[in-house]
Amino acid sequence: MVEITIKEMRQDDWNAVRDIYQAGIATGNATFQTAAPEWDEWNAGHLTKCRYVACVHDELIGWAALSPYSSRHAYRGVAELSIYVHPNNHKYGVGKQLLSTLITASEQAGYWTLIAGIFPENQASIRLHLGQGFRKVGYREKVGEMNGVFRDVIIFEKRSGKVSSD
């Protein structure tokens, strides 16, 4: 069995993170993004808490991070997640370990709801999220255009059993 190490993401992980992000983009089923941004843009769009990378033998093979759902105070405990595992490393359970770590850390940081938008074609990601307690809460039909094709997105959420929205 391969030993996977999960650690907090640092800025100097960015080149490997960007490469994994770009590999996900290349699949056509991970995001509407067409190219991985530079560090400053990516950093500005993600929370400074709850950023993790997965490594095997010091090679970074996956990452997960949270983005704010809204700047409104009412949504302060809601975040949207991103999770990417390099296509060559899907068989090791990396996604499960990253997502589990992200869920635990998000609860410790006071987040009561995590949201994920997933293309229906990305069955591996759907299985991963369902396996970690997410539930399907919506379906956005033809919400975005990609390469001349309008794509649907399924919305999943996980409510914390440890953090109250009260």
Superfamily the domain 5-159 falls into: Gcn5-related N-acetyltransferase (GNAT) (3.40.630.30)
Q: In the structure encoding, which two tokens stand for residue 9, read together? A: 């993401």
List pLDDT tens digits, range 85-102.
998 777 778 999 999 999
Mean pLDDT value across the chain: 93
Q: With contact defined as beta carbons under 8 Å apart, do 22 and 70 qualify?
A: no
Q: In the structure encoding, which two tokens stand for residue 101, read together? A: 């770590």
User: Which of 63, 76, 72, 71 is CA-nearest to residue 4?
Assistant: 63
Residue 166 has pLDDT above 70, yes or no: no
Least confident stretch, 5-14, 84-93, 112-121, 152-161: 84-93
The whole-angstrom separation of Cα 165 and Cα 49 is 19
List pLDDT tens digits, range 62-83.
999 999 999 999 999 999 999 9
Residue 166, Cβ density class (10 Å: 0-12 exposed, 13-18 middle, ≥19 buried):
exposed
For residue 19, the surrounding DSSP H or E stretch is: helix 14-27
Percent of the chain at pLDDT > 90 equals 84
